[in-house]
Structure 1
Amino acid sequence: MTLQIPDNVNLFDEMVKQAKLHPKKVIIEDTQNKFTYKKFLIAANIMSKKIREVVDDEKRIGLFLPNVVPQAIVLFALFKNEQQPCLLNFTMGARNIIDCIQTASLKTVMTSREFIKKADLGYVLEEMEKEVKIIYLEDLKAGISTMHKISGLVEARVAGLKKREMSEVILFTSGTESKPKGVVLTHRNIYANIMQVKEHIELSEDDRIFNPLPLFHSFGITVGAVLPFILNMKAFLYPSPLNFRDIPKAIYKDKSTLFVATNTFFANYAKFATKKQFKTLRIVVAGAEMLKEDVRETYKKKFGITILEGYGATETSPIISLNTPEHVKEGTVGTLVPLMEAKIAKVEGVEEGGNLMLKGPNVMKGYLIHGKGFVPCGEWYNTGDIAHIDDDGFIHIIARLKRFAKIAGEMISLNKVEELAMGCYGSSDFYAVSIPDKRKGEQIILFTTKAKVSTREFKKFIKSKKMSMLYMPSSIETVDEIPLLGSGKANYWKMENWAKQNN
């Protein structure tokens, strides 16, 4: 039977269906809170009323909150109100956050005093206050009356009688290339992706998801905050993916079975985790950046875990393809999830593969562009990734289209430069960027945290592999640490700026 996705979906209504069936099940937890379906539904009802009292007439509401249960409550309260949450990336910096606010035409942003203080974001808040009204969750909570509580309880008992219209969620691209774009995802897009994943990989209501990824990250919101409520699978929200020593302990304590992170984060968790702490993990998925061979091998040897590589984009809600325990091909990002179609468009100068184009029910409605407004997505979404699909349907990501340098007329993959560096030096801690060069068009700068790296050794290695010397970086720069985006990806834009300043 072919997977069917209804045309009109409201994620609050979908949550209510499960809450009615499993009222006493603990469905979501963080380091300070634990909620059953019933308690969560009541809290979302109360919050929806409080939001209506202060911003009843606004379609879009900005959220500037950490990865904790209260943010999930606000999210579902907005779903109930048929309002659109716009999740702001608090790691972006003040200028980009203001751009996001302007792009989405926000008038109000919800945040928390405790969060602002702990994250030391007072200076960002000062800039935001020049643009929008700030509402603090602490103030809303303080204003909850006995009548609010009674109303929330009564509504929880009769929930499911009213059908709500489908609404939207707005996430933002990281803004590493220009001003951030708003990605408009409908409830149907997100619901479709959850159903696609359920069909693609074996999940159980006994599974427990550990989510350290922020909800402004598309995987964080879809898999870490919405999927648990729709599929009746408990989630643990951890406030920061950067607590490398404590996260393995938290996974052990929660007895989590599903864990998703980036290559960079996995490399750091492995330094502190024990095999015992990861023993309950059943499915471990790497996404957002290429899984590097040394990290893959570390997890196999140290923990007995095969990391399954997946692939996604904010614009696809986010999951596009995924290896599964039954169908895995290392070095690939798996096969397409159901209902997705792909085609490869030829790119001039690129010999292997081409531009990956996609369509499916999980593909976004369109973009919000700064100064332009809404731009609908075409029939095919252009990923900007160079890929090829093998005879078994597995997708091989070769590079981002923007992750090529044009040197002396040749297209040189920056991913390949990093791969060669790993082969030479035995570590994946290498990051290649390209900058303009008057003589050759562009030049490659390689960043690493490894000290005393021999360029002569790298030249000999490239020659031994019979590769063109165009893959040899102009220089190899040692830095104290590699900058990261809030999603856990390496911040190539920042390294590119470093390279331009120093060359």
Structure 2
Amino acid sequence: MLQIPEDVNLFDEMVKQAKQHPKKVIIEDLTSSFTYNKFLIAVTIMSKKINEVVKNEDRVGIFLPNVVAQVIVLFSLFKNEQKPCILNFTMGPRNIIDCMETASLKTVLTSREFIKKADLGYVIEEMEKEVKIVYLEDLKDGISAFHKISGLIESRVSRFKKRDSSEVILFTSGTESKPKGVILTHRNIYANIKQVLAHIDVKENDRIFNPLPLFHSFGMTVGSILPFIGNVKSFLYPSPLSYREIPKMIQKDKSTLFVATNTFFNNYAKFATKEQFQSLRIVVAGAEKLKDDVRETYKTKFGITILEGYGATETSPIISLNTPKALKEGTVGKLLPLMEAKIAKVEGVDEGGNLLLKGPNVMKGYLIHGRGFVPCGEWYNTGDIAQIDKDGFIKIIARLKRFAKIAGEMISLNKVEELALECYGESDFYAVSIPDKRKGEQIIMFTTKGKVSTREFKKFIKSKKMSMLYMPSEIEYIDEIPLLGSGKPNYWKLENLAKNE
């Protein structure tokens, strides 16, 4: 039976593994490669430098790309018993400032090279009005021989003091209002890693390929912390948007585990060859529904079965996962060990109900702008409409917010997209709802597919004996679908576009 200790500090857990496997290469990016030993020394030195510049600050902001340096900073803050607040650099200045205010940040750690490469100078200018910006390059330049020697000695002394369990703060994209801070304890994250390792067969010679940024809870937990707790090497790739390069890198690294979103998988498939994906053993899709055409492409073109999973930032993040041994297509798999779920009835929704969860990986609570800390209740409300079948497989029907109320009926926008996929044979359809004086709401559907016949779609809906309420008022062509930093479609932007048109 899986048991999770009450007090966990992720730095101490990393040290336990480093003592057992000092020479194993555990994390890499495009320019560097670290064994446990080298990583531990780097963290020991960096934690001293961070301590010098942000000595008594409880929470420290991180504004960095998906590279090993960010993970070194993360573990340095764990060692210092400080709380990293990982900022989403794709958010735009206003939202980033809201996040900094929500977490009462005084200092943010970043890198000049990153700001220059990502062209974020204008964002930093705005941030500097609110907080102190500390550049890693300056910390690195200030590392003296004393720091190096004491870091080396300290990393070799095996008796570490037992650290207090601390926290990490991530921010939800805040498409409705200001972003919320999600407070995850070290125990939440550690529990989720242990739950995953008990649920799916990950081996110590596996190699994770992680293109997801650390502000994405999956990128953080699975791509950056699980390697050090589970002794599984990880390769960090700076952006999931390099559709041509990523398949080449997977082949070069001989990666065996790969996690992405439906949108990203769809784009990788356009450029990848079967040889490039040959080493992959476990391929997982999360963050948005895996569309049938993408699932089929991976089966026929690459001989890969994509395993669909489900998670939320608030659950550190993984909730359920299909595995090679327990797989049911169209579902997001079974709950991880130690989790409980119940379905609450939602008025007007016939199929399924609101999914409520509890378990050791469920967050401590939210940080709300202007209000402060709000603890999580006994059950975490996912806001997802779901069903659980007799075998324990979970099927996500839609976000509660992804329903339109038309003429008093609750119409699932996901269902509208599924019908479009069935009708036109492609999944490039995105439905939103906007207010309508007559019927309450109306559906507008966007597509990147040229020349779509609305008559054909009407006929198709009729042939399925479905209500004509599923027929969008309009089908609009769009060059490309706006994405959130996590790789999900940005429905909020599409909604605003529909309102303005």
Task: Find the residue that maps to 1:422 and give its secondary structure.
Answer: helix
1:164 aligns with 2:154: no
Counterpart-to-counterpart distance in 2, 1:214 and 1:440 = 41
For 1:467-486, list aligned pairs within 5 A: 467-486=466-485
Task: Find the residue that maps to 2:163 and give its secondary structure.
Answer: coil
Counterpart-to-counterpart distance in 2, 1:139 and 1:340 = 44
Task: Find the residue that maps to 1:23 and give its secondary structure.
Answer: coil
Higher mean alpha-carbon deviation, 153-162 vs 231-240, is at 153-162
Counterpart-to-counterpart distance in 2, 1:165 and 1:378 = 24
1:39 aligns with 2:16: no
Counterpart AA for 1:414: L
The Cα offsets for residues 304-332 of structure 1, whole Å up to 9 and x where unpaired, read as 00000000000000000000000000000
CA contact (8 A) 1:384 1:401 kept: yes
Q: Which residue of 2 aligns with 1:213?
A: 212
For 1:13-412, list aligned pairs within 5 A: 13-412=12-411
Task: Find the residue that maps to 1:194 and give its secondary structure.
Answer: helix
Counterpart AA for 2:55: D
Counterpart-to-counterpart distance in 2, 1:408 and 1:327 = 41
Counterpart-to-counterpart distance in 1, 2:158 and 2:372 = 35
Counterpart-to-counterpart distance in 2, 1:274 and 1:238 = 19
Counterpart-to-counterpart distance in 2, 1:172 and 1:53 = 27
Percentage of identical aligned residues = 82
Q: Which residue of 2 aligns with 1:12?
A: 11
Task: Find the residue that maps to 1:458 and give its secondary structure.
Answer: helix
Counterpart AA for 1:337: L
Superposition deviation, residue 161 in structure 1: 2.7
The Cα offsets for residues 170-199 of structure 1, whole Å up to 9 and x where unpaired, read as 000001111000000000000000000000
CA contact (8 A) 1:358 1:381 kept: yes
Counterpart-to-counterpart distance in 2, 1:477 and 1:158 = 64
Counterpart AA for 1:390: D
CA contact (8 A) 1:16 1:160 kept: no
Superposition deviation, residue 162 in structure 1: 1.4
Counterpart AA for 1:128: M
Counterpart AA for 1:457: E
Q: Which residue of 1 aligns with 2:488?
A: 489
Counterpart AA for 1:484: L
1:437 aligns with 2:436: yes
Counterpart AA for 2:372: G
Structure 1 spans left out of the alignment, 5+ residues: none
Q: Which residue of 1 aligns with 2:455?
A: 456
Superposition deviation, residue 159 in structure 1: 4.0
Counterpart-to-counterpart distance in 1, 2:188 and 2:4 = 9
Task: Find the residue that maps to 2:234 and give its secondary structure.
Answer: strand
Counterpart-to-counterpart distance in 2, 1:498 and 1:161 = 55
Counterpart AA for 2:123: V
Counterpart AA for 1:475: E
Task: Find the residue that maps to 1:43 and give its secondary structure.
Answer: helix
Counterpart-to-counterpart distance in 2, 1:277 and 1:433 = 36
The Cα offsets for residues 79-111 of structure 1, whole Å up to 9 and x where unpaired, read as 000000000000001110000000000000000
Counterpart-to-counterpart distance in 1, 2:300 and 2:111 = 42
Counterpart-to-counterpart distance in 1, 2:176 and 2:32 = 38
Counterpart AA for 1:331: G
Across the aligned residues of Structure 1 and Structure 2, the Cα RMSD in angstroms comes to 0.4
Counterpart-to-counterpart distance in 1, 2:67 and 2:160 = 29
Task: Find the residue that maps to 1:343 and give its secondary structure.
Answer: strand
How many pairs does the alignment contain?
Answer: 501
Task: Find the residue that maps to 1:202 and give its secondary structure.
Answer: coil
The Cα offsets for residues 272-325 of structure 1, whole Å up to 9 and x where unpaired, read as 000000001000000000000000000000000000000000000000000000
Task: Find the residue that maps to 1:125 and give its secondary structure.
Answer: helix
Counterpart-to-counterpart distance in 2, 1:47 and 1:157 = 16
Counterpart-to-counterpart distance in 1, 2:159 and 2:397 = 47
Counterpart-to-counterpart distance in 2, 1:95 and 1:164 = 35
Superposition deviation, residue 404 in structure 1: 0.1
Counterpart AA for 1:112: S
Superposition deviation, residue 160 in structure 1: 4.2
Counterpart AA for 1:343: K
Counterpart AA for 2:320: S
Counterpart AA for 1:61: V
| CA spacing shift, 1:477–1:160, aligned 2, 3 Å | farther
TM-score (norm 2): 1.00
| CA spacing shift, 1:246–1:54, aligned 2, 3 Å | same
Task: Find the residue that maps to 1:402 and give its secondary structure.
Answer: helix
CA contact (8 A) 1:333 1:394 kept: yes
The Cα offsets for residues 235-259 of structure 1, whole Å up to 9 and x where unpaired, read as 0000000000000000000000000
Counterpart-to-counterpart distance in 2, 1:160 and 1:207 = 30
Counterpart-to-counterpart distance in 1, 2:159 and 2:403 = 51
Task: Find the residue that maps to 1:277 and give its secondary structure.
Answer: helix
Counterpart-to-counterpart distance in 2, 1:349 and 1:39 = 57
Counterpart AA for 2:137: E
| CA spacing shift, 1:160–1:462, aligned 2, 3 Å | farther
Counterpart-to-counterpart distance in 1, 2:441 and 2:339 = 36
Counterpart-to-counterpart distance in 2, 1:193 and 1:450 = 39
Superposition deviation, residue 447 in structure 1: 0.4
The Cα offsets for residues 411-433 of structure 1, whole Å up to 9 and x where unpaired, read as 00000000000011110000000
| CA spacing shift, 1:108–1:159, aligned 2, 3 Å | farther
Counterpart-to-counterpart distance in 2, 1:364 and 1:302 = 39
Counterpart AA for 2:408: G
Task: Find the residue that maps to 1:138 and give its secondary structure.
Answer: helix
Task: Find the residue that maps to 1:204 and give its secondary structure.
Answer: coil
CA contact (8 A) 1:13 1:160 kept: no
Counterpart-to-counterpart distance in 1, 2:193 and 2:268 = 27
The Cα offsets for residues 141-168 of structure 1, whole Å up to 9 and x where unpaired, read as 0000000000110011114431100000
TM-score (norm 1): 0.99
Counterpart AA for 1:271: K
- Hey, which bits of structure 1, 4+ residues long, moved more than 2 A? none
Counterpart-to-counterpart distance in 2, 1:342 and 1:484 = 30
